Structure 1
Amino acid sequence: MKTIMNLAIAASLGSVAIAQPHRHGHHAHHQKRDNSPLEQREVVTTYIPATVTQYMLGDQQVTPEEAQAGLDKGLYVVDGVFIEKVTSSSSSTPTPTPSTTSTPEPTTSSTSEPKTTQSTSYPVSSGAKGIDADFPDGEIDCTTFPSDYGALALDYLNLGGWSGLQYTPSYSLVDLAISFIETGVSKPAGQKGFYSYACPAGYVKSQWPSSQGSTGQSIGGLYCNDKGKLELTRGDVTKKLCEKGIQGITIKNKMSSGTSVCRTDYPGTENMVIPIDATAGSTSVLANVASDNYYVWQGKATTLQYYVNKKGVNAEKGCRWVCDEDPKGCGNWAPVNIGVGESSDGITYLSIFPNSAVSTAVLDFNIDISGDNSIECYYHVGEGFAGSSQGCTTGIPSGGSVTITFSD
């Protein structure tokens, strides 16, 4: 099977922004998870295709039609990469964000109808421990969501607060590759496997195993062991569940209506469920990571990817794979993606680009990036993206800051 890479070219920077796929957010290695057409993957798929606009097979560019034909026949898989600086537009050394496989072991993606509280801030739980407390390794039951330690419960997904569930009944701690992964679609009852979670705005998950799926799936979260207790998966690195991302990027919604921005649960199921509820007049922190020091997929650095929904689509409705509000225009089919990651030279690369790999939806409000960005980068209704229909990428120097403004 051949691998196709999606590239979003930032000509004005003289670099390639590799757009990462749904899962996540990172130097995405997004591959087709099954051989069924995209429409049939709405409910059953855990793997999401990369979202970019230029397709490379090895060092050769292929047309979107050729790429899609190969994907539909199961001949190719998508290596969706998110944002990373490279020396030329023909060769890339991106910040990887891998995830997926063409035919993963039994996996199903949850599309359950949620019920959640609408909140702009999604505050850390009121538990006595807090986000800075060490997690008690191996002491808490798998049926207890660890909100006391800063994890953000996503009740609307009906997964017991978890952002994603990957059951691995045959997993052993010595396994570097996991051959059987079943994605949970309802509240867990203590099944053995990995339980992924969200963190508050501006924070990112800090627990994931070194093991990955045998076909390239990313895996994230705490581990529910055979005793029914939750274990840290990076306890040798940190005993905390959430870590603060790199500061300097905020979203300001100047519209009279709200919207939502949804990050992929990566590493993990890579569904776009980590919420920012950008209510009217609100300001929110957009998490960013140093790609070389965050999740590594098959030896590659990774970045973060966000999905931007239309006006009026709040986080509860839009931060999920399938969005009943507008099935072909939000959730996995949201019209615009944002990708972000800090490279080894200390520069953060920030991209906005169309989710054209799977969606034909059109965003109904403007996005402008202002502040310490190196070049102009925006999306304007009726005009499109700055510089290219494929999107735009700008750089932010170390210690710099920018505001991403949503406006009518």
Structure 2
Amino acid sequence: MQFSAGLFTIALAGFAALTSAQPHRHSHHGRAHVKPRDMYTAWVTKTVDQNGNPYAAPTPTPSASTHSPQENKAEPTPTSASEFSFASSAAAPTGSPTIPDDLSAGTNANKGVTGIDSDFPNGELDCSTFPSAYGAMPLSWVTKDGWSGIQNGNANDDHIGVCTEGALCSYACPPGYSKAQWPENQPLDGQSRGGLLCKNGKLYRTRDSYTKLCQAGQGTAKVENTLDKMIAFCRTDYPGSENMVVPLSADPGTTTTLTVPSADNSYVWRGNPSSAQYYVNNAGIDLQDGCVWGPPNGGRGNWSPLVVGAGYREGKTWLSISQNNLNSDAANFNIRIEAIGDAQCSQDCRYENGKFSTGDAVGCTVAVTGGVAKFVLY
């Protein structure tokens, strides 16, 4: 599994920690290649290094110094020698996704989203029309027309800000949902592409097997904020440019659905289903300041202190909290994973006063069975 910019395929043994190692190459406004990764998963008991070679003990892999100083991307480190990854050979999970009922909770950027269950009409909307009438959530602080990323061949056109001829134009979906459009034929070099295609001045779906723009997650994770300040959760836009711009605003006193992709309908990279990664900013940083490529050592965006992961397979929800290895500073809040009702968590996983309950310096993971769990911010 050769991959030029590096890739960790993470494995799981028992209930070891889950993380999302995401190597990137990201250069300002004209980046030629943006390397993927949400969490890659395979039910195996080995890990591989960034060249796909098996090895025993994962070690930190800092981002390359060639990144733009404005846009240096974190690569969260695997947290143990045996970690989590979904294998393509494993049986697909059963059951239907739970559609969240809190799409307008708090002051999330998704207020006013409509048509999330409507089929997208191929070739009818002009490329200049952002498809908010079909569930897509515009991000005004990212691009001029609200796209979460614009890929044109090997170029990134976010700085242009509009969906141009031949481009793949990506979009955010509300909390509880994931982007459902990406080309089923992906580049052989391992890069990812995602979004709608602008062709002959009109927008077209790129995934023939799915007619909507957004698909529901498993509905098995929430975020509850007991603090008096909001916290910005910023999901990577993947497959695509992997900007960490897809927002969830955890507002004071609210509980909001966190998207948990199911392995049976998530994007598959070289046989491995993917899950979700969220950069978690310090309390008090708003979405427009937190869900961006942050300045070096700025403590926000890709430099935020914490990373949260979520995925679902075969009746288990896997949730993680990990330290962003670009930022060793403690977050200004605490966070724990807590089962709701009859659900059960495999172990205690919390980040409190800058330390993890498991004693691991990098992070912790739980397997949730029998229902729903929540990330409690306190």
> Aligned to 2:125, which of 110, 132, 140?
140
> Aligned to 1:337, which of 296, 307, 316?
307
**CA separation of 1:122/1:62 partners in 2, compared to 1, >3 Å: closer, same or farther?**
same
Q: Give the corresponding residue for 1:361.
A: 329
Taking the aligned partners of 2:286 and 2:319, their CA distance within structure 1 comes to 23
Q: Give the corresponding residue for 2:170.
A: 196
SS in 1 for 2:289: helix
The answer to whether 1:316 aligns with 2:288 is: yes
How big is each residue's C-alpha offset from its partner over 1:140-159, in whole Å with a ceiling of 9 and x where there is no partner? Answer: 10000000111101111133
Q: Structure 1, unaligned stretches of length 5 or more?
A: 22-29, 35-40, 97-118, 169-179
> Aligned to 1:351, which of 296, 309, 320?
320
Q: Give the corresponding residue for 2:137.
A: 152
Report the alpha carbon displacement of residue 60 of structure 1 after superposing the two structures with TM.
2.7
- What one-letter code is carried by the residue in structure 1 that aligns with 2:305? P
Report the alpha carbon displacement of residue 243 of structure 1 after superposing the two structures with TM.
1.3
Report the RMSD for the aligned CA atoms in angstroms.
Answer: 3.4
SS in 2 for 1:316: helix
The answer to whether 1:229 aligns with 2:221 is: no
SS in 1 for 2:288: helix
Q: Is the 8 A contact 1:10 1:393 kept in 2?
A: no
Report the alpha carbon displacement of residue 241 of structure 1 after superposing the two structures with TM.
0.7
Q: Is the 8 A contact 2:321 2:365 kept in 1?
A: yes
Q: Give the corresponding residue for 1:19.
A: 20
SS in 2 for 1:317: helix
Taking the aligned partners of 1:91 and 1:393, their CA distance within structure 2 comes to 9
Q: Give the corresponding residue for 1:403.
A: 374
Q: Give the corresponding residue for 2:185.
A: 211
**CA separation of 1:362/1:48 partners in 2, compared to 1, >3 Å: closer, same or farther?**
farther
Q: Give the corresponding residue for 2:266.
A: 294
Taking the aligned partners of 1:307 and 1:337, their CA distance within structure 2 comes to 5
- What one-letter code is carried by the residue in structure 2 that aligns with 1:123? N
Taking the aligned partners of 1:92 and 1:380, their CA distance within structure 2 comes to 23
Taking the aligned partners of 2:30 and 2:166, their CA distance within structure 1 comes to 21
Q: Give the corresponding residue for 1:282.
A: 254
- What one-letter code is carried by the residue in structure 1 that aligns with 2:107? T
Taking the aligned partners of 1:193 and 1:327, their CA distance within structure 2 comes to 32
SS in 2 for 1:157: coil
Q: Give the corresponding residue for 1:59.
A: 54
Report the alpha carbon displacement of residue 342 of structure 1 after superposing the two structures with TM.
0.9
For normalisation by structure 1, the TM-score amounts to 0.73
Taking the aligned partners of 2:301 and 2:84, their CA distance within structure 1 comes to 29
> Aligned to 2:234, which of 255, 262, 276?
262
**CA separation of 1:8/1:365 partners in 2, compared to 1, >3 Å: closer, same or farther?**
farther
Report the alpha carbon displacement of residue 328 of structure 1 after superposing the two structures with TM.
2.6
Matching of residues 35-184 of structure 1 within 5 Å: 41=27, 45=31, 47=34, 56=49, 58-61=53-56, 64=59, 67-68=61-62, 89=81, 93-94=85-86, 120-123=107-110, 125=112, 130-168=115-153, 180-184=154-158
Q: Give the corresponding residue for 1:176.
A: none
Q: Is the 8 A contact 1:20 1:303 kept in 2?
A: no
For normalisation by structure 2, the TM-score amounts to 0.78
**CA separation of 1:330/1:73 partners in 2, compared to 1, >3 Å: closer, same or farther?**
closer
Q: Give the corresponding residue for 1:390.
A: 362
Taking the aligned partners of 1:222 and 1:51, their CA distance within structure 2 comes to 20
* Bigger helix fraction: 1
Q: Is the 8 A contact 1:195 1:222 kept in 2?
A: yes
Q: Structure 2, unaligned stretches of length 5 or more?
A: 40-46, 68-72, 89-105
> Aligned to 2:276, which of 304, 311, 318?
304
**CA separation of 1:306/1:73 partners in 2, compared to 1, >3 Å: closer, same or farther?**
closer
